[in-house]
Amino acid sequence: MHTVQQLKSGALQGVKRLSLAEELTELPIEILSLADSLEILDLSNNKLSNLPKELAQLTKLKIIFASNNQFETLPEVLGECKNLEMVGFKNNQIKQVPANSLPHKLRWLILTDNEIQTLPVSLGERPRLQKLALAGNQLTELPQSMAKLENLELVRISANQLTKCPDQLLALPKLAWFAFAGNPFCQTDIQVDSVPTISSNSYELQQLLGQGASGVISKASWIENKLALPGEIAVKVFKGEVTSDGYPQDELNACLKVGCHPNIVKPLAQVNEQDYLALVMELIPEHYKNLGLPPDFDTCTRDIFSDGFSLSIKQITKITEQMREVFQHMHNQQVCHGDLYAHNTLFDEQANIIFGDFGAASMYHMLSKQQQAQIKQIEQRSLDYFIQDLESISRN
């Protein structure tokens, strides 16, 4: 994190990445002193509602983050930034997205958790767009022009007000990761009771195991185990608000609909209380490790791996066979995972895998037969990419 004082004093001359969070209401004009170097600008967690037109003078700027501010309109100056590729304005109060606010080199657009009702036709005129996050808005339809986005690979449109399935997306040739739950077009009254409902007083949370967009996972111990469930448990307590993937309740429902499979995290019970939603799961043994790491700025949609990490052909073959079975099991239950990645997969030395994180999952049994087939085909691409990524780190 940097300071405005450092910026004004010239102490940041030549930096490629600048992060400012000082409850700013306007961007210091001294930022222009970084025009020859600045590539990443993080203005998250301020009180900004607009950006100066001079921002376009930052000709090397590739990435801008401005989450948790007070923007009501996506700034039009962004469209004038010639090399800007990634725009992240999560959790503002954005209602308007002007047609000329979208950079022509746009690859990655994050507008999660705003108040957007419509998007401009110009969105479909950004041919480099690969990743689009729009969950938690008030969209009632999507531009038909999006049918032209032939490089679009990941889309999050969960938790909106879409009344029709966006067919213009289903036929996109590269779309592989698709989350759409929590919209009127896929609303369902299905009640999944594959696991019992218990009280949050039945267990005590212990050490933190991990956390993501939708919740926090902790190891837990039983206080009262009336149902004689397994003793070793983990509990995922969902966050109460919309996440980058959608509503927590949709995640829970999709996870329960998928049910049990040897290579999927096993659900044991659910907690559904006022302001408290949780999933009790079988504890994964400690010797399991993450198979991959999430995409970075450069890869955009594709996983990365730790330096020096590799797998034998035998290990890759075994992992692939298990993931194919997981894929088929999920789609037999008419659930699209939406986030089929190595970074959501755990593995051990014998190449056994456990797959989880249903934050982007969507049930699709209510869609037409053609739409169902297209949804499965979309996720088939993510499975193909998963296999390609593993093959890229194979060793003889």
Residue 191 pLDDT exceeds 90: no
Architecture, CATH, for domain 200-282: 2-Layer Sandwich (3.30)
> What average pLDDT score do residues 155-180 get?
97
Residue 218 pLDDT exceeds 70: yes
Residue 32 pLDDT exceeds 70: yes
Give the pLDDT confidence score for residue 242 in this predicted structure: 79
Residue 154 pLDDT exceeds 90: yes
Residue 81 pLDDT exceeds 70: yes
Per CATH, 4-186 and 200-282 having the same topology is answered no
Give the pLDDT confidence score for residue 396 in this predicted structure: 67
Q: Above pLDDT 90, what percent of the chain?
A: 91
pLDDT band at 71 (very low <50, low <70, confident <90, very high): very high
For residue 290, what are the β-bridge partners? Answer: 346
Per-residue model confidence as pLDDT tens digits over 324-341: 999 999 999 999 999 999
> What average pLDDT score do residues 83-107 get?
98
Domain ranges of the chain: 4-186, 200-282, 289-395
Tell whether domain 289-395 is in CATH 3.40.50.150.
no
Give the pLDDT confidence score for residue 358 in this predicted structure: 92
Per-residue model confidence as pLDDT tens digits over 228-248: 999 999 999 998 777 777 888
Contact 219, 196 (CB under 8 A): no
Strands of the chain, DSSP E: 17-19, 40-42, 63-65, 86-88, 108-110, 131-133, 154-156, 177-179, 203-211, 215-222, 233-238, 267-273, 276-282, 289-290, 311-312, 335-336, 345-347, 353-355, 362-363, 394-395
Instruction: For residue 236, say whether it is annotated as part of any ligand binding site.
Output: yes
Residue 212 pLDDT exceeds 80: no
In sign, the C-alpha dihedral spanning 331, 335, 338, 339 is negative
Contact 353, 291 (CB under 8 A): yes
Average of per-residue pLDDT values in the chain: 95
Give the pLDDT confidence score for residue 243 in this predicted structure: 74
The tokens describing 326, both together, are 């997981």
Closest CA to 50 of 31, 20, 76, 86: 76
Residue 124 pLDDT exceeds 90: yes
User: Per CATH, which fold does 4-186 belong to?
Assistant: 3.80.10
Q: Above pLDDT 70, what percent of the chain?
A: 100
DSSP per-residue letters across 293-358: B---TTTTTS-B--TT--EEHHHHHHHHHHHHHHHHHHHHTTEE-S---GGGEEE-TT--EEE---
Give the pLDDT confidence score for residue 273 in this predicted structure: 92
The predicted model scores a pTM of 0.94
* Neighbour order of strands in the sheet with 17-19: 17-19, 40-42, 63-65, 86-88, 108-110, 131-133, 154-156, 177-179
